[in-house]
Structure 1
Amino acid sequence: MRTLVVSTLALLLAAVGIAVAPQAHASDAFTVTTLHFDAAHDSGPRCDVVGDLYVPQGVSPSNLAPAALTTNGFGGSKDSQAPLARMYASRGYVVLAYSGLGFGGSSCRITFDSPIPDGAAASRLVSYLGGATGIAFRDAAHTKPAPRLDAVVHDGVDHSGTRRSDDPRVGMIGGSYGGHIQFAAASVDPRIDAIVPMVTWNDLSYSLSPNNTGQSVGVSTPTQGAVKINWSASLAAAGLMSGVQHASVEPQRLTGCPDFPAAVCSALVGSATSGTVDRSVLDGFRRGSVASFLDRVTIPTLLVQGQKDTLFNIQEALATYRGLSAKGVPTAMIWFSGGHSGTPATGDYSSTTPNPDTQYVTQRAVGWLDHYLKGSGPGTGPRFAYYRDWIDYRGIATPAYATAGSVDVGSRVQYALSGATGLVPLATPPRPGTARLRTPPAGLPTTHDVPDALGLISLPERDVAGTYAQWDTAPLRSALDVVGTPTLRLRVSAPLDVGAPLADQLVLFARIVDVGADGSSTTVGNLVAPVRISDPRVPMTITIPAFVHRFDPGHRLRLVVSGGSTNYRGGMRPIPVSIDAGPDQILRLPIA
């Protein structure tokens, strides 16, 4: 078990390009001081937060600099952020890299980047950067006060128009868990001036139990979907490992549900047996997610989301982007080559050796903060940029990126289900036919595909006979570039009692597959769209997570609807399903 936990944690860190760096140290360009911060707040326990302060040489009360605040991804620590902190410090920023609550020597349990207490803790660090006293100490017991910081330039007023004496010019940057904290902090502290959240979530209830139909706002749905069993287990293991590693900081965190609120562990155990998550836990995840407090985020935001990401897919960033843009918040978005499910391409991004001169995403992030915090640089860049893995380049990845003024690029092309196995352009009359499948018992997997998070060797992609239906296009005469969110309009037939308990409802999984000329097949991005169906009489629209992919000439595009998935827990009882062809059964693809 320990081997699995360690390897899982290593994979989680590597997936977003994070490595645990050695203890930060002084250099000719900056000094580094480790401090402890009193992260007390009104509605919870007192937390000790440990962080490293990077101050560039030459910065002084007469030569002030802007500040950058950064914290770790899940399972990491302040040391994980050392390469990023060193890079920004060398560019003239005062940087505070800290371990988030429950990680890397900081106390309190993991509370999933909620505004309270996580955002409130970050706000205390902003106050310290603004010169407030009584917050920073040289020891964990908070008995040795650190000197007042007088190295950061101040703003006249914050983003609410309020004048404060402890208002620093400060931005935030970080990925995954260190990405969502930026929303939490910005929602409670208008002194923050710009953020760059990377590979993070919009609604954690969707991230861990997505339902890709019936979405009310963004990715949120009133009915939960299918549990991501591999990612849920991996995140639980990473949190447990962090608690064990830092038990000396707060031994009581290991009692009951190690390092988590007790309800979280109960929910994980329950989801493994029932395929559903306790409603109160999912509601808690949603309340603590930016989907629930997006109206309180009003500062310039550069969203960076990964095309190789089955944990926090592009739909999550799209939901946040659309919400911020609708309010008039300065917002831009990049879909880059990495993510939780794969490392970035050379010349695109690295958090272990960040370099804006040789990496597109690093360059854009630096440009964003330079623009809003220094008032310098070439500008904020295009509103939308996406990476194309079929473009050859050398050096920085800029040539591989296409840019646009809107996230809705290209046009919609429609295909209809034809016969039992065909997929034809809507202008071609579809043939009648019916595809049939049966879902497995106990939510068991019925596919051989790449397991999320666990890093196991996967078998060639294959579905168990009788548990899926598929429809193929004819071989493509020219390349087909899909950029964005496919949707599937579908009606199914199944002997299902309307209003059946969640565990007994029908769960299906839709995905897009690239079939090569040799017959080999690959699920695009390993992305799957689970849907939980309470009433099969009603047509549904399935949102398939967005991707960027070129289908080469001679390849076929395949739509698969299956009853099980390697990476999800499906419905608990076997249900026969039939799907009729027809002009109303439509797959819509965004073609660039």
Structure 2
Amino acid sequence: MTERTIWARRLSEDPAGLLALNAPPGETGQVQPTGQASTLQVPPMAGLYIAPEETDLPVVARALETGDTSGLPPALASEVDEARRVTRFSKVRVPGAGGDALDAVQWIHGDGTPRPAIIMPSPWADMGWLAYAVQGMRFATKGYDVLAYSARGFGQSEGEVEVAGEADIQDGVEALNYFTGALGQEPTKVGFLGDSYGSGISQIVAAQDSRVDAVVAMSTWGDLATAFYENRTRHLASVAALLGAAKNARLSKRTQEIFDLVLAGADIDDILLWAEDRSPLTHIDALNARRVPILFAQAWHETLFPSNQTLEMFNRLEGPKRLLFSVGDHSGPEMSGMIGLPNRIWSAANRWFDHFLREEDNGTGNDSEVVSQIMWSRALETHPDWAAVTQDTRKLYLSSPAEGGGDGHLTEAESAGWERAFQVGTHTLAEVADTVIWTGLAEMLGRPKVYATPDIPRSDALVWSAPATSERLRLHGIPKLHLTVTSSTREATFIAYLLDAGADGNAHIITHAPFTAPAATIGGSGTVDLELQATGYDIRAGRRLMLVIDSKDAFYSDTNEAPHTLTISSPDGDASYLELPLG
């Protein structure tokens, strides 16, 4: 057994580990960030996931096929034995769109009893259906007939990657057609479940195929265009991460062209048009017409599909819906469940399908419930809908530094008639994360990234701080920033970071957002109203809120031309402010 395999298995023994942050409520104690720079050693990733060879997933798959459980821990071995006793497990080739064969596995009960079925399109990963080996087995043991397949272009599936394009959606329809034939009868009800890539496919299949009765969408997107191009700013790191994770996949020529255009910053209108039909939000009328129940699970610090666009999808749905927010980054909150550990996201998925596919009265069918895991207490807060997450708002006005210089202040008293400038084009210590996925994994292990804010050059960034809080400050919802911005060039990009800072200036990130102003004349000013990404964050007493604005972050494109300057001002009659959502 390798050291990294031991890492994966010992997560359940780590009081600050993935199990501690994502187990069902009541099973673990409280976790607080260490406040120290992380020296965390994380396992190798298969694209966006823990490498399968560092987990029990391949052994589970082989054991399901052969019955040899000798390489498994006793608990998993027992689950495999039970699944083989009550279902027939087999590897199959599913004829997808255009006759392309999809690599798949199925669990079928052989007693002829009509049952609900679950279809699981794979994540954006070479391992394909293997990601669902444990959870598919568990659904089957509970009484579901289950089919999990690798999305076209990935792993052993034929075809080319179309990014939830027409062929991918038809694959989902054909997978259900095939499985119905394999069962020899219509399922009593049908659920689609997907993580990441499979989640977007699942939502759109449900919009187009009336046989789908419920959906579970983990680490998902609502508007793909916004995920690639937010506030006129391209998401470079996320697109690069997707390309890296698909290095062994077979991307269609058009898919490769689009990704290249995003990285190059060319033909933005073409990108947005391409993304439109691949966005569940485009298909929301069809979902609403049938009131399809959808469970969403999302991470607060999601770097691939930032949360606000999924939140818009959630808010516009009219059927039963539930949204689970968690600490971490893309696919992190649900990953421990994939490798067989207790996990509240997968527990919620089971309850969702049990209610809507098996008609169990288990209290999970509330119309628009939101469950937030709060950083860093790990407390779970349940709200009847998103509107109830924010109980009140408070404006903190940006002010100029006190005489003699230093940072600006965040104050409840309106402050106007000032301006502050910084030079653009330089990376500072302020950044979204060190890397996609990895920084979020460290957060889940209780070791969030530390920002040494005293070391941020004030010539390359602007900083405002509020006084230390005398009691806990609960930021629950979407913070908003109102600014007047003037660029010495035709366009301007800035990134706003909201931080939680201690007395020594060391801080953790709460949320952020990028913004690129439209082209204007040199020296032109514009008013910016910017929504930061949604958050559920409690600032402990004695710490303080900090706002940092700079011009460059490796996660984003920018239009700044060094050595020009960007000026933030607060004109008379239009003061700049930060609006805080209070829980």
- TM-score of the superposed pair, with normalisation by structure 1: 0.76
Whether 2:190 is the aligned partner of 1:149: answer no
- Three-state SS of the structure 2 residue aligned to 1:524 is strand
Q: How does 1:140-539 map to 2 (within 5 A)?
A: 148-150=182-184, 153-154=187-188, 169-211=189-231, 225-241=232-248, 243=249, 259-272=250-263, 274-275=264-265, 278-298=268-288, 299-324=292-317, 328-340=318-330, 342-343=332-333, 350-353=337-340, 355=342, 359-380=343-364, 383-391=369-377, 400-408=379-387, 409=389, 410-420=391-401, 421-426=407-412, 428-430=413-415, 432-440=417-425, 445-447=427-429, 449=431, 450-453=433-436, 455=438, 460-461=451-452, 463-497=456-490, 505-524=491-510, 527-535=512-520, 537-539=525-527
Offset of residue 415 of structure 1:
0.8
Offset of residue 465 of structure 1:
4.1
Aligned to 2:79: none
Read off the aligned partner of 1:350 and give its amino acid letter: G
Read off the aligned partner of 2:386 and give its amino acid letter: V
Match of 1:36 among 93, 98, 101: 93
Aligned to 1:4: none
Aligned to 2:537: 549
CA contact (8 A) 2:551 2:560 kept: no
What is the CA–CA distance in structure 2 between the aligned matches of 1:271 and 1:8, rounded to whole Å?
27
Aligned to 1:562: 550
What is the CA–CA distance in structure 2 between the aligned matches of 1:336 and 1:528, rounded to whole Å?
19
What is the CA–CA distance in structure 2 between the aligned matches of 1:454 and 1:549, rounded to whole Å?
19
CA contact (8 A) 2:221 2:227 kept: yes
Q: How big is each residue's C-alpha offset from its partner over 1:338-391, in whole Å with a ceiling of 9 and x where there is no partner?
A: 43275569xxx6221155xxx332222111111111111413255111012443
Match of 2:140 among 89, 92, 98: 89
Q: How big is each residue's C-alpha offset from its partner over 1:461-492, in whole Å with a ceiling of 9 and x where there is no partner?
A: 55444221111111111110111111111111
Offset of residue 418 of structure 1:
1.1
What is the CA–CA distance in structure 1 between the aligned matches of 2:229 and 2:293, rounded to whole Å?
30
Aligned to 1:106: 157
What is the CA–CA distance in structure 2 between the aligned matches of 1:19 and 1:209, rounded to whole Å?
35
CA contact (8 A) 2:489 2:560 kept: no
Offset of residue 330 of structure 1:
1.6
What is the CA–CA distance in structure 2 between the aligned matches of 1:342 and 1:374, rounded to whole Å?
28
Name the CA shift for 1:344/1:474 in 2 (closer, same or farther; >3 Å): farther
Aligned to 1:137: none
What is the CA–CA distance in structure 1 between the aligned matches of 2:177 and 2:334, rounded to whole Å?
35
Offset of residue 433 of structure 1:
3.0
Name the CA shift for 1:533/1:511 in 2 (closer, same or farther; >3 Å): farther
What is the CA–CA distance in structure 1 between the aligned matches of 2:504 and 2:339, rounded to whole Å?
38
Aligned to 2:108: 55
Read off the aligned partner of 2:106 and give its amino acid letter: L
Offset of residue 104 of structure 1:
2.0
What is the CA–CA distance in structure 2 between the aligned matches of 1:278 and 1:493, rounded to whole Å?
24
Q: How big is each residue's C-alpha offset from its partner over 1:193-237, in whole Å with a ceiling of 9 and x where there is no partner?
A: 0001011111222212211xxxxxxxxxxxxx2222222222112
CA contact (8 A) 1:94 1:152 kept: no
- TM-score of the superposed pair, with normalisation by structure 2: 0.78
Offset of residue 174 of structure 1:
2.0
What is the CA–CA distance in structure 1 between the aligned matches of 2:295 and 2:350, rounded to whole Å?
11
Structure 1: give runs of 5+ residues left out of the alignment.
1-6, 132-147, 155-168, 212-224, 244-258, 393-399, 498-504
- Three-state SS of the structure 2 residue aligned to 1:288 is coil
What is the CA–CA distance in structure 2 between the aligned matches of 1:368 and 1:431, rounded to whole Å?
51
Read off the aligned partner of 2:357 and give its amino acid letter: L
Name the CA shift for 1:36/1:361 in 2 (closer, same or farther; >3 Å): same
CA contact (8 A) 1:476 1:552 kept: yes
CA contact (8 A) 1:419 1:581 kept: no
CA contact (8 A) 1:15 1:342 kept: no
CA contact (8 A) 2:424 2:560 kept: no
What is the CA–CA distance in structure 1 between the aligned matches of 2:457 and 2:285, rounded to whole Å?
45
CA contact (8 A) 1:496 1:506 kept: yes
Q: How big is each residue's C-alpha offset from its partner over 1:256-287, in whole Å with a ceiling of 9 and x where there is no partner?
A: xxx22324434544554x54564313320232
What is the CA–CA distance in structure 2 between the aligned matches of 1:121 and 1:39, rounded to whole Å?
5
CA contact (8 A) 1:48 1:107 kept: yes
Count, aligned residues: 490
Q: How big is each residue's C-alpha offset from its partner over 1:527-558, in whole Å with a ceiling of 9 and x where there is no partner?
A: 44333333453312101001111111111111
What is the CA–CA distance in structure 2 between the aligned matches of 1:185 and 1:277, rounded to whole Å?
28
What is the CA–CA distance in structure 2 between the aligned matches of 1:533 and 1:554, rounded to whole Å?
40
Name the CA shift for 1:519/1:460 in 2 (closer, same or farther; >3 Å): closer
- Three-state SS of the structure 1 residue aligned to 2:382 is strand
What is the CA–CA distance in structure 1 between the aligned matches of 2:411 and 2:242, rounded to whole Å?
42
Q: Higher mean Cα deviation, 380-389 or 259-268?
A: 259-268
CA contact (8 A) 2:394 2:581 kept: yes
CA contact (8 A) 2:495 2:551 kept: yes
What is the CA–CA distance in structure 2 between the aligned matches of 1:318 and 1:380, rounded to whole Å?
19
CA contact (8 A) 2:471 2:540 kept: yes
Read off the aligned partner of 2:243 and give its amino acid letter: A
What is the CA–CA distance in structure 1 between the aligned matches of 2:255 and 2:560, rounded to whole Å?
22
Name the CA shift for 1:545/1:460 in 2 (closer, same or farther; >3 Å): closer
What is the CA–CA distance in structure 2 between the aligned matches of 1:15 and 1:548, rounded to whole Å?
30
Name the CA shift for 1:454/1:588 in 2 (closer, same or farther; >3 Å): closer
Name the CA shift for 1:460/1:371 in 2 (closer, same or farther; >3 Å): closer
What is the CA–CA distance in structure 2 between the aligned matches of 1:454 and 1:360, rounded to whole Å?
19
Offset of residue 152 of structure 1:
5.2
- Three-state SS of the structure 2 residue aligned to 1:493 is strand
What is the CA–CA distance in structure 2 between the aligned matches of 1:93 and 1:354, rounded to whole Å?
21
CA contact (8 A) 1:451 1:567 kept: no
Aligned to 2:178: 128
Identity in percent: 21
